[in-house]
Amino acid sequence: MTKNFEAVIAGAGLIGGAIALELARAGVRVAVFDQGEPGREASWAGAGILSPAPESPATIPLVPLGKASMALYPELVARVEEISGQDVGFRAKGTLEGLFSRDAARELSTHVALHHGWGLTAEALSAQDARELEPALSPDVEAAVLRPDEASVDNRALTQAVLDAARKSGVQIFAHREAQGIWREKQHCAGLLLENEKVSAKWTIIAAGSFSSGIAGVNTYAPVRPAKGQMVCLRCERVKIERVLWSDKIYLVPRNDGRILAGATVEYAGFDKKVTAGALEKLLGSAIALAPDLAHASVEETWAGLRPDSPDHLPILGPADIDGLLIATGHFRSGILLAPITARLIREWVIEQRVSVDWERFSPLRFLEARKETTA
């Protein structure tokens, strides 16, 4: 049996869902196939921080893409909330990083200068000013950096709302239908191979997160592996947090309903999603060090998820070297932030075969080239 669409997407996470919605709104007939329940992997497990600031030197090349995506967020939220009728918990309140060390003053000027160099807004705050904004902060915080343009979103709510908006815009989403391979015919990708079924499409888009490399024919373009992150959800009447709070060990993300998420570990442990005592000890200890009254919080939930990490920790976006195959994965720690720009760029490529933001740096062909060089 063969189904036929203009575009077929493997993976109904936030990335696959956002692409599907964007394509459907441009008049493309789209289907999305998910191996499990749509929206229940990394896009469910994430913290939802929207910060274009790089977390390590490796991700500095991502700053322009992050900024472009951040700029699209209010529009995406408004559209998705309108079509789905669901609130996605977008909080455009900024983030605040507490510095503990005796060298806080020196660290502070370095932090602020680096951010300005990347074209990002950051303000130095004294400990007193920081605690006026966020009274929950520890008295041991000696200075802080405020990044007023950053935000957060309830990524679970957003993912479900995006998938719902996509369905309402005409996208067909199929749960428990695993893509086993790409349907390759010489230099052309004709669609996806499912169990006992082929799905034909002019465009085939791989957005299967950490699992993308397991789809036959995809590994050379998207050699991703899972980076496990463990999280804890807390609730505490006496702790009110407005902004996302960071230290060098933890982030705390407030939700509109009073929950506070604390995360996250980064572990390379295969596809294991166990929550461990050691990780909880570290997360809770660091959370309480940043906001001491959290010692009184109740623990509402713990979980782990798998971030799709690429060999250079940068996303994998764009056309492969076989006609009709596009890759959109490897978003690692920034997939919630990067969903709007990913969807926009894929839509531009499908409709116009050109993109408005240079994505060459993120090409799926970079791993093929690296492989050729090492075997030459």
Ligand X SMILES: Cc1cc2nc3c(=O)[nH]c(=O)nc-3n(C[C@H](O)[C@H](O)[C@H](O)COP(=O)(O)OP(=O)(O)OC[C@H]3O[C@@H](n4cnc5c(N)ncnc54)[C@H](O)[C@@H]3O)c2cc1C
Do residues 364 and 320 touch, judged by C-beta distance below 8 A?
yes
CB 73 within 8 A of CB 327: no
Among 52, 308, 318, 364, binds ligand X (CB under 6 A): 308
Site for ligand X contains 89 (CB under 6 A): no
Residue 48 interacts with ligand X (CB under 6 A): yes or no: yes
Distances in Å between the Cα of 300 and the Cα atoms of 216, 235, 263, 333 are 39, 7, 14, 23
Which residues, listed in sequence order, are joined to residue 126 by a DSSP beta bridge?
143
Q: Which of residues 173-192 bind ligand X (CB under 6 A)?
A: 178-179
Q: Is 305 in the site for ligand X (CB under 6 A)?
A: yes
Q: Does 53 bind ligand X (CB under 6 A)?
A: no
Considering the complex, state which of residue 179 and residue 317 has its C-beta at the smaller distance from ligand X: 179
User: Of the candidates 31, 49, 245, 294, which one interacts with ligand X according to CB under 6 A?
Assistant: 49
Q: β-strand 244-246 against 251-254: which pairing, if any?
A: antiparallel
What is the Cα–Cα distance from 355 to 256, expressed in whole angstroms? 35
Interaction between residue 42 and ligand X (CB under 6 A): yes
Nearer to ligand X (CB atom), residue 12 or residue 24 = 12
Q: Does 91 help bind ligand X (rule: CB under 6 A)?
A: no
**Nearest distance from residue 264's CB to ligand X, in Å?**
4
**In Å, what is the CA distance from 317 to each residue of 35, 265, 368?**
21, 25, 14
Binding-site size, ligand X (CB under 6 A) = 44
- What one-character-per-residue DSSP string does 35-92 give? SSSTT-SHHHHS--EE--S-SSGGGGGGHHHHHHHHHHHHHHHHHHHHHH------B-
Joined together, the tokens standing for residue 121 give 């807004």
Question: How many residues in the chain?
Answer: 376
Nearer to ligand X, 104 or 287 (CB): 287
Binding mask 317-356 for ligand X (x = CB under 6 A): ------------x-xxxxxxx-------------------
Q: Comparing C-alpha atoms, which of 152, 168, 170, 171 is closest to residue 77?
A: 152
Give the binding range for ligand X (CB under 6 A) out of 31-39, 57-65, 129-137, 316-324: 31-39
With binding defined as CB under 6 A, does residue 207 bind ligand X? yes
Least separation in angstroms between residue 375's CB and ligand X is: 28
- Which residues in the 239-278 window bind ligand X by CB under 6 A? 263-264
The pair of three-digit structure tokens given for residue 208, joined into one six-digit string = 């299967």
Minimum CB separation of residue 62 from ligand X in Å reads 11
Site for ligand X in 3-22 (CB under 6 A): 10-16
In the complex, what is the shortest distance from the CB of residue 261 to ligand X, in angstroms, rounded to a whole number? 9
Q: How far is the CB of 328 from ligand X (least distance, A)?
A: 7
Both tokens assigned to 166: 């996509």
Q: Which of residues 141-170 bind ligand X (CB under 6 A)?
A: none
Smaller CB distance to ligand X: residue 126 or 276?
276
One residue of 23, 47, 182, 291 binding ligand X per CB under 6 A:
47
Residues β-bridged to residue 127? none
Pairing of strands 143-147, 95-99: antiparallel
Contact predicate 15/37, CB 8 Å: no
Give the nearest distance from C-beta 171 to ligand X in angstroms. 15
Q: From CA 153, how far away is CA 163, in angstroms rounded?
A: 16
**Sites of contact with ligand X (CB under 6 A):** 10-16, 33-36, 38, 40-43, 45-49, 178-179, 207-211, 215, 229, 231, 263-264, 305, 307-308, 329, 331-337
